[in-house]
Amino acid sequence: MATDYYKTLEVAKDATDAEIKRAFYRKARELHPDVNKAPDAEERFKELNEAYDVLSDANKRAQYDRFGTVGGYGSGPGGYQYVDLDDLFGSGFGMGDIFSQFFGGSAYGRANVRREGRDMGVGLKLTLEEVATGTKKEIVYDRLAPCETCGGTGVGEGGQTVDCKRCNGTGRIVSVQRTFLGDMQTQATCPECGGTGKTIDIPCPDCEGQGRLPDRQHITIDVPHGIKDGQQLRLSGYGEAGMHGAAAGNLIVTVRIEQHPEFKRDGDNLHIRKQISITQAALGARIEVKGIMPEETVPVEIPEGCQNDQVVRVRNYGLPRFKRDSRGDLYVLVNVVVPRNLTKRQKELLEELSGEFGDSLGGKKTVGERIKDALS
């Protein structure tokens, strides 16, 4: 194996998911660049994050155990969609940044850290076929999640929430300064409890009293049919967890729809090109095109005298409308194909038709005339 992820995390090859997670937390606290100033700390933290990314996912871990490598990131063999938060936030928002937040918001102190969890955003790619039918997608993303050890409270075994000793439970620190104008009294937020007036006497050893921990989340969402590019789905409570059981933020999923090789979308309508012969265009015909739904065949009535680039509308064969039973329309752009390499008989028939229409061939001899000249 080029990289021994088990060695990186310092766990056995039969380690449980919980053991892998605890090992990652322990090593991350040790190696994160915010606390480790060694020159190679950032690189080692990246290696640690990669090891956890593989071993914390059942599909990737099985592939790694079998082949000794995992081919890149993205849609894995289990069909999930790994979501990089760069899709929306533009740069570097991942497990490393979540650990930065974690180190900056320990326990009750740090008055600048908000208690409620923030909203998070991810992008989700869909095919047009998935838009047509609706689909289920498993999303994998990194967030600060409630600590399983303390249930999100931040309180360790045998501990409790008590009045802050520094501010006596008021959440404010009063200081007095002597000046030439007399004593000046000021108040400030207590740095020990962050203004809550409460601290934990025995913090949870895993989350250090925060009530939350960096974790990789796997959630399955229902994507309704007819969803549009750029439309957002809001998953309540799946964003960043709050501190000490405070409300969690929401996960905002922004849909991105991939271009289709044949269909072009216009709202709930679809556009497609279809080639027909000159006889089909002249006489009219019933042809079939493939629809957007699974195994769907769409009957298209080509009118007599159909012209090149004419559009034929077929009602109710477009995309299903968002959360509704009705569908848009399908617009077929007709391309009339002029045949090449005609047989002798085909040329004779066209020449006969040309005579019926009174078309001039510009002095060009017909097939019959050329045969007659050859025999004379």
- Distances, alpha carbon 291 to alpha carbons 83, 139, 261, 310, in Å: 30, 29, 13, 19
Per-residue pLDDT, 373: 60
Rounded to whole angstroms, how far apart are CA atoms 144 and 213?
5
CATH class of 5-146+212-257: mainly beta
Q: Which residue has the higher pLDDT, 213 or 224?
A: 224
pLDDT at 114 over 90: no
Count each helix (H run) and each strand (E run) in the chain, helices first: 10, 16
Task: Please tell me the least confidently modeled range out of 86-95, 151-160, 164-173, 268-277.
Answer: 86-95
Is residue 176 within a helix (H) or strand (E), and if so which, with residue range? strand 172-179
- Burial readout 199-225 (b: 16 or more C-beta within 10 A, e: otherwise): bbeebbebbbbbbbbbbbeeeebebeb
Rounded to whole angstroms, how far apart are CA atoms 22 and 55?
12
**95-103 and 41-55 helices, crossing angle to 10°:** 110
pLDDT at 116 over 50: yes
| Closest C-alpha among 119, 134, 128, 138 to residue 221 | 138
Rounded to whole angstroms, how far apart are CA atoms 185 and 176?
4
Mean pLDDT of the chain: 84
DSSP string, 344-366: HHHHHHHHHHHHHHT---TTPPP
- Distances, alpha carbon 55 to alpha carbons 61, 71, 97, in Å: 5, 14, 20
pLDDT in tens, 51-73: 988 998 888 899 999 888 886 54
- Alpha helical stretches, state H, the chain: 5-9, 17-31, 41-55, 58-67, 86-89, 95-103, 128-133, 278-283, 344-357, 367-375
- Distances, alpha carbon 349 to alpha carbons 239, 304, 342, 344, 354, in Å: 71, 19, 10, 9, 9
pLDDT at 372 over 70: no
Phi-psi map region of 227: left, alpha, beta (phi>0 left; psi -120 to 50 alpha)? beta
Q: What letter represents residue 309's amino acid? A: D
Q: Where are the domains of the chain?
A: 5-146+212-257, 264-337, 344-375
pLDDT at 302 over 80: yes
Strand-pair category, 285-290 with 269-277:
unpaired
Rounded to whole angstroms, how far apart are CA atoms 290 and 128?
14
Q: How many residues does the chain have?
A: 376
Q: The pTM is what?
A: 0.73
**Torsion angles phi and psi, residue 311, rounded to 5:** -105, 130
Q: What value does the mean pLDDT take over residues 305-315?
A: 97
Which CATH architecture describes the domain 264-337? Sandwich (2.60)
pLDDT at 351 over 90: no
pLDDT at 333 over 50: yes
Q: Do domains 5-146+212-257 and 264-337 have the same CATH topology?
A: yes
Structure tokens at 153: 């409270």
Q: What value does the mean pLDDT take over residues 215-224?
A: 91
Half-sphere exposure of 290 (CA within 13 A, CB side): 7
Strand-pair category, 330-337 with 269-277:
parallel
- For 325, other C-beta atoms within 10 Å of its C-beta total 7
Per-residue pLDDT, 371: 58
